Structure 1
Amino acid sequence: MSKAQETVLEIDLKALKHNFEHLKSKLKNNTKFLAVVKAFGYGSDACEIAVYLQELSVDYFAVAYVNEGVVLRQAGITKPILVLHPQAVNFKTLIANCLEPSLYNAKIFNEFLSFASVEKQNDYPIHIKFNTGLNRLGFWENDVDYIISKLKNTTAVKVESIFSHLAASEDLNEKEFSLNQIANFKAIYTNFTKAIDCKPLLHMCNTSGILNYPEAHFDMVRSGIGLYGFGNSIKENRYLKPIGTLKTIISQIHLIEKDETVGYNRAFKSDGFLKTATLPIGHADGIGRQYGNGNGFVTINGQKAYIIGNVCMDMIMINITGIDCKEGDEVIIFDVNHTAETLAETSGTISYELITAISQRVKRVLLK
């Protein structure tokens, strides 16, 4: 791991392998593993992540949108790819790239069945999403008969899986709610599979579901944030390794006198002599304004340096008073010790938001 000479996001593939193997160890041998690589691989590099996981024999991938799946196909991904939130305008592209749609209400369901029929498809794989309490996307339990009636009148598609999504699997205070979701899903798939001449894959668990609800692993599990090193709890984080290290350098050091201000809108006013450093990273790179004004901090030579003033588009200023450092020195925004989760918590948000916001103008460096 070399010292930074510019702003870079280092991606540790060994850590990715460790996380994958740890999560796999929680499963039965015949339970399939779906890797979620949407949002540019949770802000890392979707293609590199997917290619590596394919080498590790992951069973399935998932993305949010069709264009994300196309990029994976162009990168050489041959495993099945589930598109979690397709739009009808992209159906032609979806089929051309052998992507598999999640169909979650009557409108998108009927539109895809009609399109697949016009395109003379036969047994094209689809996934039926059911809502069991997240109330985001999904058919309801009482839609099963309607779905079955439509499926019996077409050979254009086949149901590859039926699935749902836990709403609060990381929060054991919501265990009763999660168990009710699981029971609801079991009732749905029992009714569904009784009425149709196939046995689709069943899946419900996200990362926290994998860790907290082994009874709901079913035929396949889906992991996103866990692969990237976060287990949604202090206990589980001990067994996972964040794969990303975001680092930059000190561009300039300033000596600030009492009553001088720093940055836009004079948001920081010094109450005494201090030293500041300017770093080449800002809200256009994913470090939002909420981290400014003493909320977020970075580390230099193992010491905390708080962000002062408003975060700029391309720069942040930090207080380095009492820290032995010089222009050109490396600065850690987050890594395995000072994690993205730790930084996110300083501003009342979550690791997901921080890591997926890292701009693609930030250089990615793979550590193999």
Structure 2
Amino acid sequence: MSDLTYAKINLDNLTENYGTIKRMTGDCRVICVVKADAYGHGVIPVVRRLRNLGASFFAVANLSEALQVRAATRRADILILGYTDPRCADILVENIITQAIISKSYATKLASAAMSTREQKPVLGHLALNCGMNRVGIDCTDRGVNEASAVLALPGLRINGIFSHLSCADTPNSEYTDKQIAAYNKTVEAIEAKCGKFAINHLCNSAALMQLPCQNQDAVRAGIMLYGLKSTPDTPPLTKPVMELWSTVTHIAHVCKGQPISYGAAFVTERPSRIATVAVGYADGFRRAYAGDVIIPSAGGARAPIVGRICMDMLMIDVTDIPGVTVGTDVMLFGSSGITADDVAARADTIGYEVVTGISKRVPRVYN
């Protein structure tokens, strides 16, 4: 192909991952989280594949993402987990998009905006509770129960779901997670006693699904598990990586001992070396902090170390001990075997989410 750097997206692995999650969750509805361009994998192809597999509910971060999903499927449910300007109430209604109701004041403004439209149709909503994340949501307190009851009575809203988020679900045996679950369940029970049962109740994300399978409620929000990366630091993923990042050797240099490589002269050769330049850099989302080994598949999966600082558009690798590397040789920076996005993340003391969502738009996605 003409692109020197590209991300391979294995939709067959996505298919297998969705099947794994369905088997784990039984009768629970799976809400497929496709925010951030499906975690960098490309939202339209991902949604279309998941719809073909029977997925019928998607979650995103904002209105623009919701409209992308709606363009890919006219029939599925879509939940915006973040904030939408109340002035966009008509867009939510027209596109049958469900909005997270994150506070009483927000609910009042959104309901008022909905009733001010020509058709005066209510906005669909899921009530967000704050059970300890302290990010958004109505507090899990007696006051919060009263606020929720008032929100549910607003004529401009039709709220059929309730949810919250666990802040330490990726920590095994977390006492704080237990406290959050107890607070959430108690608050949901109190609200339902006053206002009736919600049609859908969801608390668990991917990490909670791994650690707390008994807390699946009516639905689970499957995010990073869909894409085959770790949701908990110390537990191998049960699903397969969907993204691989590839690039190409564009230059071979024979460098004498004692010569610096790349910016800052931070690396100096300790022997006569063959240095290959690869057409990928931090502008592609492969950050300077990701320096480590890459894989040369044509050399039996041999690993070559990145030497010198990663540049904006290029990086250099030492192929002195790897015969056969020439201009045009393929290089895998991470993938489904050998070096994963989680491995790259560990080099920068971060998480795989940041690696895959950070692969830039100039890197084309190539689908199997």
TM above 0.5: yes
Runs of 4+ in 1 over 4 A off after TM superposition: 233-236
Change over 3 Å in CA distance of 1:346–1:204 after alignment to 2: same
Q: Is the Cα–Cα contact under 8 Å of residues 297 and 343 in structure 1 kept in the other structure? A: no
Change over 3 Å in CA distance of 1:333–1:307 after alignment to 2: same
Shift of 1:229: 0.5
Q: Does 1:103 align with 2:118?
A: no
Please name the residue that 1:42 is paired with.
39
Q: Does 1:318 align with 2:317?
A: yes
Q: Normalised by the size of structure 1, how large is the TM-score? A: 0.92
Q: Is the Cα–Cα contact under 8 Å of residues 256 and 272 in structure 2 kept in the other structure? A: yes
Q: Distance in 2 between matches of 1:233 and 1:138?
A: 24
Q: Describe the SS at the equivalent of 1:85.
A: coil
Q: Is the Cα–Cα contact under 8 Å of residues 122 and 155 in structure 1 kept in the other structure? A: no
Q: Distance in 2 between matches of 1:97 and 1:113?
A: 16
Q: Is the Cα–Cα contact under 8 Å of residues 90 and 114 in structure 2 kept in the other structure? A: no
- AA partner of residue 32 (structure 2): A
Q: Describe the SS at the equivalent of 2:327.
A: coil
Q: Describe the SS at the equivalent of 2:83.
A: coil
Shift of 1:86: 2.1
Q: Describe the SS at the equivalent of 2:82.
A: coil
Q: Distance in 2 between matches of 1:114 and 1:5?
A: 50
Please name the residue that 1:287 is paired with.
286
- AA partner of residue 366 (structure 1): Y
Q: Distance in 2 between matches of 1:90 and 1:315?
A: 43
Q: Is the Cα–Cα contact under 8 Å of residues 33 and 60 in structure 2 kept in the other structure? A: yes
Alignment of 1:338-357 (within 5 A): 338-357=339-358
Q: Distance in 2 between matches of 1:27 and 1:235?
A: 21
Q: Describe the SS at the equivalent of 2:148.
A: helix
Please name the residue that 1:11 is paired with.
9
Runs of 5+ in structure 1 lacking a partner? none
Q: Does 1:149 align with 2:150?
A: yes
Segment of structure 1 superposing worse, 236-245 or 246-255: 236-245
- AA partner of residue 118 (structure 1): S
Please name the residue that 2:160 is paired with.
160
Q: Does 1:308 align with 2:307?
A: yes
**Which deviations, in whole Å up to 9, do the C-alpha atoms of 1:5-62 show, x marking residues without a partner?**
6211111111101111111111232x11100000111011111101111111113100
- Tell me which of 43, 46, 51 is aligned to 2:48: 51
- AA partner of residue 334 (structure 1): F
Please name the residue that 2:205 is paired with.
206
Please name the residue that 2:123 is paired with.
124
Q: Describe the SS at the equivalent of 1:149.
A: helix
Q: Does 1:361 align with 2:358?
A: no
Q: Is the Cα–Cα contact under 8 Å of residues 169 and 212 in structure 1 kept in the other structure? A: yes
Q: Describe the SS at the equivalent of 2:360.
A: coil
Q: Distance in 1 between matches of 2:344 and 2:198?
A: 44
Runs of 5+ in structure 2 lacking a partner? none
Please name the residue that 2:336 is paired with.
336
Shift of 1:253: 1.1
- Tell me which of 293, 305, 320 is aligned to 1:297: 293
CA-based RMSD of the aligned residues comes to 1.9
Please name the residue that 2:84 is paired with.
87
